[in-house]
């Protein structure tokens, strides 16, 4: 996807994300959601490929999944919900994105996902769940929007929320990026955007430091020229 191109890496000069980062991101995704989705959904092969890697490891018993930054829920949330034994908690900062997700996934009259999908609007970092709530946490093209110090905090929370043996499937920027802003992402006037990341090696270190075992790691050139690290990692059994 057209995430940042060659980033201005300068790790000696820490980047301070704008104080109003989350409200700006929310406003942007509220404004650009239709354009973003129209652009990205046809490029879902990579998402679905990695989702299959996770699905193949989940049991046929009741499964509880948390999706961070679910966007408009198609195709990933939808695919999760196609498994009748799955309950999905899907979070997004953007009410606009969640309204689209609600329309697709919770139609009136009620469809098969009713009762198995909870939509939660807000900053993923502000979510709060009891320890060991989820069998899997999924974050596609979303954790990359947190300032990178928050990405580590997010990983710690994810580990706490996962059951022992639970899975994290997520992608991160493959290039080290203290922080990058764009004014008109996707040529949208209201498309202010922000990304950051620790790069492949840094992210893998952080993922291991928080106590996850990396089972799969792949660096993939996405559409446009952005590179992402995809990881599937597991919380150790007790």
Ligand X SMILES: C[S@@+](CC[C@H](N)C(=O)[O-])C[C@H]1O[C@@H](n2cnc3c(N)ncnc32)[C@H](O)[C@@H]1O
70 or 212: whose CB is closer to ligand X?
70
Distance CA 148, CA 135 (A): 25
Q: Which of 7, 17, 32, 71 binds ligand X (CB under 6 A)?
A: 71
Q: Which stretch binds ligand X (CB under 6 A): 11-19, 52-60, 63-71, 183-191?
A: 63-71
155 makes contact with ligand X (CB under 6 A) = no
145 or 180: whose CB is closer to ligand X?
145
64 or 77: whose CB is closer to ligand X?
77
93 makes contact with ligand X (CB under 6 A) = yes
Residue of 166, 203, 164, 147 whose CA lies nearest to 21: 147
Distance CA 103, CA 45 (A): 23
196 makes contact with ligand X (CB under 6 A) = no
Q: Which stretch binds ligand X (CB under 6 A): 8-16, 65-73, 160-168, 214-222?
A: 65-73
147 makes contact with ligand X (CB under 6 A) = no
171 makes contact with ligand X (CB under 6 A) = no
124 or 212: whose CB is closer to ligand X?
124
Query: What Cα–Cα distance (Å) separates residue 123 from each residue in 22, 59, 138, 154?
Result: 7, 29, 15, 11
26 or 235: whose CB is closer to ligand X?
26
Q: How far is the CB of 191 from ligand X (least distance, A)?
A: 11
Q: Which of 50, 134, 141, 230 binds ligand X (CB under 6 A)?
A: 141
180 makes contact with ligand X (CB under 6 A) = no
Q: How far is the CB of 22 from ligand X (least distance, A)?
A: 6
143 phi, psi to nearest 5 deg: -65, -25
Mask for 6-25, x = binds ligand X (CB under 6 A) = ----------------x--x
Site for ligand X in 103-132 (CB under 6 A): 123-124
Q: Which of 46, 64, 87, 142 binds ligand X (CB under 6 A)?
A: 142
The 10 Å Cβ neighbour count of residue 190 is 14
């Amino acid at each position: 996807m057209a995430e940042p191109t060659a980033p201005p890496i300068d790790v000696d000069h820490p980047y301070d994300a704008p104080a109003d980062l989350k409200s700006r991101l929310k406003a942007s995704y509220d404004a650009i959601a239709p354009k973003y989705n129209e652009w990205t959904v046809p490029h879902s092969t990579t998402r679905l490929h990695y989702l299959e890697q996770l699905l193949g490891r989940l049991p046929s018993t009741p499964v509880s999944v948390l999706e961070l930054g679910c966007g408009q829920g198609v195709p990933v949330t939808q695919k999760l919900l196609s498994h009748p034994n799955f309950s999905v908690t899907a979070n997004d900062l953007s009410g606009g994105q969640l309204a689209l997700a609600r329309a697709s996934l919770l139609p009136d009259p009620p469809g098969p996902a009713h009762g198995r999908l909870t939509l939660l609007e807000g900053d993923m970092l502000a979510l709060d769940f009891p320890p060991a709530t989820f069998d899997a946490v999924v974050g596609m093209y979303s954790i990359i929007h947190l300032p990178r110090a928050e990405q580590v905090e997010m990983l710690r929370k994810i580990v706490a929320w996962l059951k022992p043996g639970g899975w994290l499937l997520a992608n991160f920027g493959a290039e080290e990026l203290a922080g990058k802003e764009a004014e008109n992402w996707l040529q949208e006037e209201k498309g202010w955007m922000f990304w950051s990341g620790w790069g492949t090696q840094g992210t893998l270190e952080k993922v291991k430091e928080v106590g996850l075992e990396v089972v799969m790691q792949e660096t993939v050139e996405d559409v446009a020229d952005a590179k992402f690290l995809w990881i599937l990692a597991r919380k150790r059994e007790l």
